[in-house]
């Protein structure tokens, strides 16, 4: 994506005024990304794509998102068109792939994404992703999940709320897009009369990251927010159903209940029962809500089912098959359990106690005799035995791995849980991106890969998984990257392989938000003015980014950069930059060339000839001024000059060795003095004869002339 054009000037006097005073006010505005220290003097704005003017000091709190702040926008081509911009937090990845799909599309009942780009954002002093939307004039449907509001009348609810939103979800599904941000405070009225309802933003954050647990299915609700994965239409339908329930009640029935307790209730009684509780749901909506809140995603209503229901077809929702119940409960953590799934969730919550019920065999016996599930009991026994035999880890690490595998078998649909680390398999890459961008601990992510937790999860699934080969190849490569200590590998490489539109996280250029290879060199060129030029411009992140995005072009050069010899490593680093400039441009990079030129000391010193070194020291500044790294590389790594230097050095070493030997022989009396005198006499005679010959010729010539 070509970066958006950016401009920064004082605001015009005729710029649009602030939002109307009666615009809805947010109950809990989020902080800016990062928050501006003070308003720009005199008012400031940027211009995105030479068209959209975004006012940096005209914040719209009522339209903020958890991962982005809202600002006023005007369109140069369509004056008066109501727009607003969401400036994304730099520590949270945006859904660039979805932006590219829905930009400019008019999807029914979905907030219209007009344009997007990456631009310099003065309050943050860096570049940020900026998304421009049509502005909803009626504000949010529900200000927050803690708020109450006037319910939509029952007789209007189906046609005014359910129908348009279901149509929007159906079209998103047809395009292969899961919204993953459906919640009551992300629904808007597009018109001031508040008659047209739409789904709000879904691209300013990782899928599901901003979703409260109450509107997430049981499984993704157990995961950390960043690790919920891209999800599916079934996940959207669940969130839609939970949101409709709140709109029908006029409030969040679980407001103030802790997330852990919400999940426990859903596991214990099912989502519909946990969300409805003792509240009275309009009779006309019960069938629809039950269908969308079915916990089995395969049985959950889709948008097409909702459409049939709206057209009068009665469809009794298929309820999930009840778990086997044991008449004799098992006691754990002060509670009694009659079924497996609630016990597995309690074991996770009481991780340090879980090993006790596993180690003493009580769990296996209860499952075998109480639940009468010998297949599960055998799988548990095999997992426990194989983990203890193969782990090779310390006792505590082995126990953690055993608990993880046991929980996978007890609740296969749940996320992979390894102490505090909880991710859906497809959400691992996004969770890693959030962890790196927000500087969280990365050890859980390396453990996830090195301990093959993905493999154990796949093998625990009761239904055959067609993606096993895909996972096998991906995680085999990730494991190899982690084993490789060189630049271009490591966890940095894993990050870029797993996230197609992840921008380069090198501290040298991260604020410039570079997502494509062709932007790397211009970013480094700009960074040369402010960085410590004694460090290499190709750090681990830049190398990993290039290997992931441009492997055919830079693979062998990065391998050379990892050479143990300083001169070869340095010339390898130069070759990486040179080939990228040669193939992708730009033609001149004066700042980067100067930076790299100052790092060529090891290359210069690798030449043995002193005169050649002086020549290089004199010539490099001239080449640097051209800004062409390929020309600099070709000059420094000239094979003919290298061979000439090597041959000259070999001859000099031989001469030096011969002289050393003669000195040694003289000093130790190992030379025949008579033979030495004869040799000296012969040499003297030869020189004398040459002199006489020259004098004779000279006299003869003078005689002829005179």
State the Cα–Cα distance between residues 87 and 65, nearest whole angstrom.
9
| Region of residue 286 (phi > 0: left; psi between -120 and 50: alpha; otherwise: beta) | alpha
Strands annotated E in 316-419 = 330-332, 335-337, 416-418
| Cα distances (angstroms) measured from residue 440 to each of 30, 207, 386 | 21, 19, 32
Neighbours of 659 (CB within 10 A): 10
CA–CA separation, 293 vs 215, rounded Å? 10
Per-residue pLDDT at 465: 62
| Interval 391-424: pLDDT, tens | 455 577 889 999 999 999 999 999 999 999 999 9
Please, what is the Cα angle at 604 between 600 and 610, to 5 degrees?
Answer: 155
Q: How many CB atoms lie within 10 A of CB 332?
A: 19
- Is the pLDDT assigned to residue 34 strictly greater than 50? no
Whether the pLDDT of residue 167 is over 90: the answer is: yes
232 CB-near residues (< 8 Å, 6+ apart): 178, 297
Share of the chain above pLDDT 70, in %: 87
Let me know how long the chain is: 706
- Low-confidence winner among 69-83, 97-111, 320-334 (lowest mean pLDDT): 320-334
pLDDT per residue over 235-294, tens digit each?
Answer: 999 999 999 999 999 999 999 999 999 999 999 999 999 999 999 999 999 999 999 999
Q: What's the distance, Cα to Cα, between the start and end of the chain in Å?
A: 89
Summarised one tens digit per residue, pLDDT across range 498-519 is 999 999 999 999 999 999 999 9
> What is the per-residue burial (b if ≥16 Cβ within 10 Å, else e) of 345-378?
bbbbeebeebbebbeeeebbebbbebbebeebbe
More confident residue, 322 or 98: 98
Q: Compute the average pLDDT of residues 560-570.
A: 94
pLDDT digits over 660-675, tens only? 766 776 666 665 556 6
Distance CA 109, CA 164 (A): 6
392: phi > 0 → left, psi -120 to 50 → alpha, else beta; which? left
466/446 Cα distance (integer angstroms): 25
Mean of the per-residue pLDDT values for the chain?
88
Cα distance between residue 323 and residue 367, in whole Å? 12
* Model pLDDT for residues 456-488, shown as the tens digit of each residue: 998 888 776 666 667 888 999 999 999 999 999
The predicted pLDDT at position 152 comes to: 80
Rounded to whole angstroms, the Cα distance separating 561 from 572 reads 4
Distance CA 580, CA 561 (A): 14
Question: For residue 429, is pLDDT > 90?
Answer: yes
DSSP string across 426-446: GGHHHHHHHHHHTT---HHHH
The CB-based long-range contact list for 453-461 (8 Å cut-off, 24+ gap) reads: 453/404, 453/416, 453/418, 454/416, 454/425, 454/428, 456/383, 456/404, 456/405, 456/408, 457/408, 457/412, 457/416, 457/425, 458/425, 460/379, 460/405, 460/408, 460/409, 460/412, 461/412
Rounded CA separation 677/227 (Å):
90
pLDDT of residue 444: 95
> What 3-state DSSP class applies to 88?
strand
pLDDT of amino acid 346:
97
Determine the distance from the C-alpha atom of residue 345 to the mean position of all C-alpha atoms in its chain, rounded to a whole number.
Answer: 29
Distance in angstroms (rounded) separating the CA atoms of residues 450 and 423: 16
Summarize pLDDT for 310-369 with one digit per residue, the tens. Answer: 998 877 766 666 788 888 999 999 999 999 999 999 999 999 999 999 999 999 999 999
Q: Which residues contact 618 (CB under 8 A, 6 or more apart)?
A: none
Beta strands 126-134 and 113-121: pairing type? antiparallel
Closest to 375 in 3D by CA, of 602, 390, 383: 383
Of 118, 60, 59, 48, which Cα lies nearest the Cα of 90? 118
Query: Distance (Å, rounded) from C-alpha 533 to C-alpha 599?
Result: 8
Query: CA torsion, points 181, 187, 190, 192, in degrees to nearest 10?
Result: -150
The radius of gyration of the chain's CA atoms, rounded to the nearest angstrom, is: 36
126/510 Cα distance (integer angstroms): 9
- Pick the residue with more confidence: 445 or 676? 445
Q: How far apart are CA 380 and CA 378, in angstroms?
A: 5
> Cβ distance 604 to 617 under 8 Å?
yes
Q: How many CB atoms lie within 10 A of CB 156?
A: 10
Angle at 493 between CA 489 and CA 497, to 5 degrees: 140
Residue 317 structure tokens? 């929702």
Query: Distance between CA atoms of 586 and 439, rounded to whole angstroms?
Result: 32
Q: CA-CA distance, 293 to 241, in Å (whole number)?
A: 6
Region for residue 153 given its phi and psi (left: phi exceeds 0; alpha: psi -120 to 50; beta: otherwise): beta
Q: Which residues contact 270 (CB under 8 A, 6 or more apart)?
A: 295, 319, 320
CB atoms within 10 A of CB 539: 18
Of the candidates 174, 305, 189, which has an alpha carbon nearest to the alpha carbon of residue 237? Answer: 305
113-121 β-sheet, strand order: 8-10, 44-48, 52-59, 68-75, 83-88, 126-134, 113-121
Please determine, for residue 99, whether its predicted confidence score (pLDDT) is greater than 90: yes
Least confident of 367-376, 459-468, 531-540, 603-612: 459-468
Q: Are 112 and 168 in contact (CB under 8 A)?
A: no
DSSP 149-209: -PPPPHHHHIIIIIHHHHHHHHHHHHTT-------GGGEEESSTTS--EEE---SSSSTTT
Return d(Cα 376, Cα 387) in angstroms, integer. 16
Q: Are strands 113-121 and 8-10 parallel, antiparallel or unpaired?
A: unpaired
Q: Please give the helix or strand (H or E) that residue 114 lies within, else none.
A: strand 113-121
Residue 581's CB: how many other CB atoms inside 10 A?
A: 25
- State pTM to two decimals: 0.85
Instruction: At 492, list the tokens.
Output: 């940095």
What structural domains does the chain harbor? 8-134 (3.30.200.20), 154-310 (1.10.510.10), 330-493 (no CATH), 497-637 (no CATH)
Q: Which residue has the tokens 């993606």?
A: 467
The yes-or-no verdict on residue 31 having pLDDT over 60 is no
Q: Which two tokens stand for residue 448?
A: 């996830």
Q: How far apart (Å, rounded) are the C-alpha atoms in residues 449 and 491?
A: 10
DSSP H or E stretch at residue 87: strand 83-88
Ranges 113-117, 609-613, 622-626, 699-703: which has the least confidence: 699-703
CA dist 152 and 169 (Å) reads 21
Q: Please, which residues bridge with residue 74 across strands?
A: 53
Q: Are 135 and 104 in contact (CB under 8 A)?
A: no
- Percentages helix, strand, coil for the chain (3-state, rounded to 5) are 50, 10, 40
């Amino acid at each position: 994506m070509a970066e958006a054009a950016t401009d920064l000037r004082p605001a015009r006097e005729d710029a649009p005024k602030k939002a109307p005073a009666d615009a809805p006010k947010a109950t809990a505005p989020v902080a800016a990304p990062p928050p501006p220290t003070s308003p720009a003097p005199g008012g400031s704005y940027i211009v995105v794509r030479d068209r959209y003017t975004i006012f940096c000091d005209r914040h719209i709190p009522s339209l903020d998102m958890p991962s982005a702040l809202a600002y006023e926008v005007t369109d140069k081509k369509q004056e008066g068109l109501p727009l607003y911009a969401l400036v994304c937090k730099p520590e949270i990845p945006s859904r660039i792939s979805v932006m590219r799909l829905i930009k400019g599309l008019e999807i029914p009942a979905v907030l219209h994404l007009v344009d997007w780009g990456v631009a310099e954002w003065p309050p943050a002093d860096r570049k940020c992703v900026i998304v421009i939307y049509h502005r909803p004039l009626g504000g949010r449907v529900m200000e927050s999940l803690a708020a109450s509001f006037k319910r939509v009348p029952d007789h209007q609810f189906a046609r005014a709320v359910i129908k348009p939103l279901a149509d929007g979800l159906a079209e998103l599904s047809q395009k292969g897009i899961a919204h993953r941000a459906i919640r009551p405070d992300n629904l808007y009225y597009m018109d001031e009369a508040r008659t047209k309802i739409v789904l709000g933003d879904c691209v300013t954050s990782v899928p599901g990251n901003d979703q409260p647990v109450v509107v997430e299915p049981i499984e993704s609700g157990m995961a950390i927010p960043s690790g919920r994965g891209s999800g599916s239409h079934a996940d959207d339908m669940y969130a839609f159903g939970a949101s409709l329930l709140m709109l029908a009640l006029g409030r969040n029935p679980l407001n103030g209940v802790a997330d852990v307790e919400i999940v426990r209730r859903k596991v214990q009684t099912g989502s519909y029962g946990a969300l409805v509780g003792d509240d009275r749901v309009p009779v006309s909506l019960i069938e629809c809500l039950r269908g969308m809140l079915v916990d089995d995603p395969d049985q959950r209503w889709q948008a097409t089912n909702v459409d049939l229901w709206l057209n009068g077809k009665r469809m009794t929702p298929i309820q999930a098959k009840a778990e086997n119940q044991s008449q004799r409960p098992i006691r754990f953590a002060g509670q009694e359990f009659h079924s497996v799934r609630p016990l597995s969730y309690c074991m996770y919550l009481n991780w340090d106690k879980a090993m006790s019920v596993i180690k003493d065999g009580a769990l296996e016996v209860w499952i075998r005799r109480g639940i009468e599930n010998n297949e599960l009991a055998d799988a548990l026994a095999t997992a426990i035995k194989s983990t203890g035999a193969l782990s090779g880890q310390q006792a505590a690490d082995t126990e953690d791995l055993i608990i993880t595998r046991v929980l996978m078998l007890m609740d296969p649909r749940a996320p992979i849980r390894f102490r505090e680390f909880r991710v859906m398999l497809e959400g691992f890459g996004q969770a890693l991106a959030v962890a790196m961008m927000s500087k969280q601990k990365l050890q859980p992510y390396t453990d996830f890969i090195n301990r093959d937790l993905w493999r154990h999860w796949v093998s625990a699934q009761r239904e055959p998984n067609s993606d096993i080969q895909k996972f096998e190849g991906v995680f085999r490569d990730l494991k190899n990257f982690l084993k490789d200590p060189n630049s271009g590998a490591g966890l940095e490489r894993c990050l870029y392989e797993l996230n197609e539109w992840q921008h380069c996280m090198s501290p040298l250029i991260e604020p410039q938000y570079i997502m494509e290879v062709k932007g790397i060199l211009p970013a480094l060129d700009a960074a040369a003015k402010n960085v410590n030029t004694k460090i290499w411009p190709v750090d681990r992140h830049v190398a990993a980014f290039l290997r992931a995005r441009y492997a055919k072009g830079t693979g062998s050069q990065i391998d050379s950069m990892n050479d143990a010899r300083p001169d070869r490593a340095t010339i390898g680093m130069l070759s990486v930059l040179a080939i990228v400039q040669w193939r992708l441009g730009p033609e001149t990079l004066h700042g980067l060339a100067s930076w790299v030129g100052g790092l060529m000391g090891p290359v210069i010193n690798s030449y043995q000839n002193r005169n050649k070194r002086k020549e290089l020291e004199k010539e490099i500044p001239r080449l640097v001024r051209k800004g062409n790294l390929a020309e600099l590389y070709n000059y420094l790594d000239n094979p003919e000059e290298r061979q000439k230097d090597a041959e000259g050095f070999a001859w000099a070493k031989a001469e030096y060795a011969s002289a050393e030997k003669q000195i040694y022989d003289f000093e130790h009396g190992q030379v025949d003095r008579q033979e030495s005198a004869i040799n000296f006499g012969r040499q003297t005679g030869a020189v004398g004869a040459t002199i006489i010959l020259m004098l004779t010729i000279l006299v003869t010539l003078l005689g002829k002339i005179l």
